[in-house]
Amino acid sequence: MQIETYGQQLEVTPALRSYVETRFERLGRHFEGDCEIRVQLALEKPEHKAIATINVSGRTLHGDAAGQDMYAAIDLLVDKLDRQLIKHKEKHLEQRRSEGLSKLSLD
């Protein structure tokens, strides 16, 4: 899993970068292969925003969240992306199951 963290008119401190990497590690359980995650941190007064794009198996997932501080925004973003990845994984498994059933019915 490759995580790229950058700021929009905001300096990304080592503490923020470390926090992003720690929180996004939990998303790694959904991947079998490599994935690329781009995380953008921004300050839009009075809110802090975190935006992420995940590239997995030919598909791109996008999420954004806003919070009172940057850490809260990152937590909300990881929760949203976790739900999206679960939904994507379920759709993928359902598609594979239906393909397997159609192959059986053709035989």
Which string of DSSP letters, residue by residue, matches 85-101? HHHHHHHHHHHHHHHHH
* Predicted pLDDT at 52: 96
* Predicted pLDDT at 9: 86
Global pTM?
A: 0.84
Buried b (16+ CB within 10 A) or exposed e, 53-62: bbebeeeebe
The CATH number that applies at residue 25 is: 3.30.160.100
Bridge partners, 62 (sequence order): 53
* Residue 3: closest CA among 86, 43, 12, 44: 12
Domain of 64? 2-106
Which amino acid is present at 29?
Answer: R
Q: Tens of pLDDT along 37-76?
A: 999 999 988 899 999 999 887 789 999 999 999 999 999 9
Into how many domains does the chain fold? 1
* Predicted pLDDT at 102: 62
Bridge partners, 43 (sequence order): 48
